[in-house]
């Protein structure tokens, strides 16, 4: 029964998945039973990361391959590159992503000079570049990598703001978040994502001022469904 | 003893204080014992709002007067105009605000087309216009007016992100927030305020999608001091 359910879970590719955020998300989703592919510009680096994640979870199903191949094999692709690599990644993956959901998790900030970004959002730029054949959803930008890697079975003390023009794609990504132990909220269209991208600048300031690595935000004022 | 403490509380002017957010903040601070002046472009409107607040709280100390006079008489001024009136308010109050702290609570959003704003933040623009004789602090932009007016004695389910270049001024405003039942966090310099201003667009989307009026955010990942 469990195996049947698991076989129905979408296959996830985490593109640029050898950094900080990507492996954290992979751990959560791998642990929840999703089939995972780690993508990287370099196949050997992707395979190394996949292997390390398999060992950590005691499984053998996480694969590593180059980004393009990973994107083609997946149902939902999650982009976790650093913001300086965002545009090049979108351009090189345009064909491979057609027909799929692209979750843009790019933290749009220069860590040496962490100022808030100006519109349009990275997610809007991605959507404009990729065209209507790809459904872009912005999510997970504000989830500290530090939190993802800890206590995998427990709920995270940070909420996911999901911005998308396509409601059905947003719902699928909210399900991904919930299955990884995060509460997710639909927070408007892709233009709103620039605010979530800017929360990284706020989190950096909070982390610095309060001497932590885990500052983020939760949504308040919305009663949870029973 | 209580009177002595109260007499040491700074006098607050709430400029543009006859709208939605201003009276909510006035209720909280008036109820906490702060001397309050409601400012408006029209003296009679200011006095009407002050009178209504006095009646609601069962006190007689809240005064109403025109913005310029209110600003001159106060120690800390809180600007709660709508964003279309922000620039004109700053220009007309420049002289009256010298030597004081200006708390910029402007929700920088057009409610008919609620897109996130571009940098610079309203608070940065105010600081540039007012010069170094005024210490601008951005705060309270994301606190739903709806929440402020309810259950005055209880803590609010929304946190205040305080952005300021001047740390000592930020501390004073954080104290104001705490005394009004809100947890406040120092979230970086005035440039970061554009993100908090943009949270209004997120809150509008959340309110619409989830059918509430109270969506906001709380800070997570920072242990509370004992």
Which of A116, A198, A218 is most worth mutating to test chain B (most B CB atoms within 10 A of its CB)? A116
CB contact under 8 Å between A218 and B220, yes or no, is yes
pLDDT in tens, B111-137: 788 899 999 999 999 999 999 999 999
- Contact status of B211 with chain A (Cβ, < 8 Å): no
- Taking each helix axis from N to C end, the angle separating A21-31 and A43-57, rounded to the nearest 10 degrees, works out to 50
CB A88 within 8 A of CB A114: no
State residue B2's pLDDT score: 42
Are the Cβ atoms of B210 and A217 closer than 8 angstroms? no
Tens of pLDDT, residue by residue over B158-173, are 999 999 999 999 999 9
3-state SS, B201-214, equals HHHHHHHHHHCCCC
Rounded CA gap, A137 and A185, in Å? 12
Contacts of A198 in chain B (CB under 8 A): 192, 194-195, 198
pLDDT: which is higher, B151 or B207: B207
pLDDT at B6: 52
Q: Quick one: pLDDT at residue A24?
A: 96
Query: For chain B, what percent of residues have pLDDT higher than 90?
Result: 86
CB contact under 8 A, A195 and B161: no
pLDDT of residue B153: 81
In chain B, which residues have their Cβ closer than 8 Å to the Cβ of A144?
A: 221
Contacts of A118 in chain B (CB under 8 A): 118-119
Confidence bin at B150 (pLDDT 50/70/90): confident
Q: Is B215 on the interface with A (CB under 8 A)?
A: yes
CB B192 within 8 A of CB B203: no
Q: Alpha helix locations (H) across chain B?
A: 2-8, 21-31, 43-57, 67-73, 86-93, 122-130, 145-148, 167-179, 193-210
- Cα distance between residue A197 and residue B195, in whole Å: 9
Nearest to B206 among A147, A157, A219 (CB): A219
Q: Chain A contact for B204, CB < 8 A?
A: yes
The residues near A206 (Cβ < 8 Å, ≥ 6 apart) are: A212, A215, B185, B186, B187, B188, B219, B221, B222
State whether residue B201 sits within 8 Å of chain A by CB.
yes
Q: Kindly tell me the burial class for residue A178, based on how many C-beta atoms sit within 10 Å of its own C-beta (0-12, 13-18, 19 or more).
A: middle
Q: Is the peptide bond before B172 cis (omega within 30 degrees of 0)?
A: no
pLDDT value at B28 more than 60? yes
Give the strand pairing for B135-138 and B160-164. Answer: antiparallel
**Longest distance between any two alpha carbons in chain B, whole Å:** 50
- Say yes or no for a CB contact (<8 Å) between B215 and A220: yes
Residue B4 has pLDDT above 50, yes or no: no
Residue of B nearest to A186 (CA): B206
pLDDT at B113: 83
- Which pLDDT value is given to residue A154? 85
* A142–B contact, CB cutoff 8 A: no
Q: Does B219 touch chain A (CB under 8 A)?
A: yes
As a whole-number percent, the residues of chain B with pLDDT over 70 amount to 96
DSSP 8-state code for residue B191: G
Q: What ipTM score was computed for the predicted complex, to two decimals? A: 0.94
Judge whether residue B1 has pLDDT over 60: no
Substitution target in B116, B123, B204, B215 with the highest count of A β-carbons within 10 Å is B116
A68-90 pLDDT per residue, tens = 999 999 999 999 998 899 999 99
pLDDT of A114: 86
Q: What is the pLDDT of residues A120-146, one digit of tens each?
A: 999 999 999 999 999 999 999 999 998
Determine contact: A111 vs chain B, CB below 8 A: no
CA B137, CA B189: separation in Å to the nearest integer? 9
Does A119 touch chain B if contact means CB atoms closer than 8 Å?
Answer: yes
Number of helices and strands (H, E) in chain B? 9, 9
- Among all residues of chain B, which has the CA nearest to that of A184? B206
Res. B178: pLDDT tops 70: yes
pLDDT of residue A111: 78
Alpha-carbon span A186 to B81, nearest angstrom: 29
- Mean pLDDT in residue range B181-198: 97
Nearest chain A Cα to B158, which residue?
A220
Per-residue pLDDT, A2? 41
Residue B166: φ, ψ to 5°: -100, 110
- Residue ranges for chain A with pLDDT beneath 50: 1-4
Which of A165, A188, A215 to substitute to test the interface with B, most B CBs within 10 Å?
A188
Give residue A1's pLDDT: 36
């Amino acid at each position: 029964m469990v195996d049947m359910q698991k076989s129905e879970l979408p296959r996830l590719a985490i593109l640029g998945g050898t950094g900080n955020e990507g492996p954290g998300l992979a751990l959560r989703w791998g642990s929840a039973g999703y089939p995972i592919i780690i993508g990287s510009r370099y196949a050997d680096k992707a395979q190394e990361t996949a292997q390390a994640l398999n060992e950590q979870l005691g499984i053998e199903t996480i694969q590593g391959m180059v980004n393009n191949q990973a994107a083609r094999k997946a149902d939902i692709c999650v982009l976790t590159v650093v913001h300086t690599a965002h545009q090049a990644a979108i351009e090189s993956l345009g064909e491979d992503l057609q027909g799929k959901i692209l979750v843009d998790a790019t933290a749009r900030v220069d860590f040496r000079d962490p100022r808030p970004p100006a519109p349009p959002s990275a997610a809007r730029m991605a959507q404009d570049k990729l065209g209507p054949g790809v459904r872009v959803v912005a999510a997970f930008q504000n989830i500290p990598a530090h939190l993802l890697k800890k206590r995998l079975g427990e709920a995270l003390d940070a909420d996911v703001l999901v911005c998308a023009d396509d409601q059905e794609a947003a719902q699928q990504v909210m399900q991904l978040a919930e299955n990884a132990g995060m509460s997710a909220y639909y927070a408007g269209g892709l233009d709103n994502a620039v605010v979530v991208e800017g929360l990284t600048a706020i989190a950096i300031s909070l982390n610095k001022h309060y001497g932590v690595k885990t500052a983020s935000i939760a949504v308040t004022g919305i009663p949870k469904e029973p």
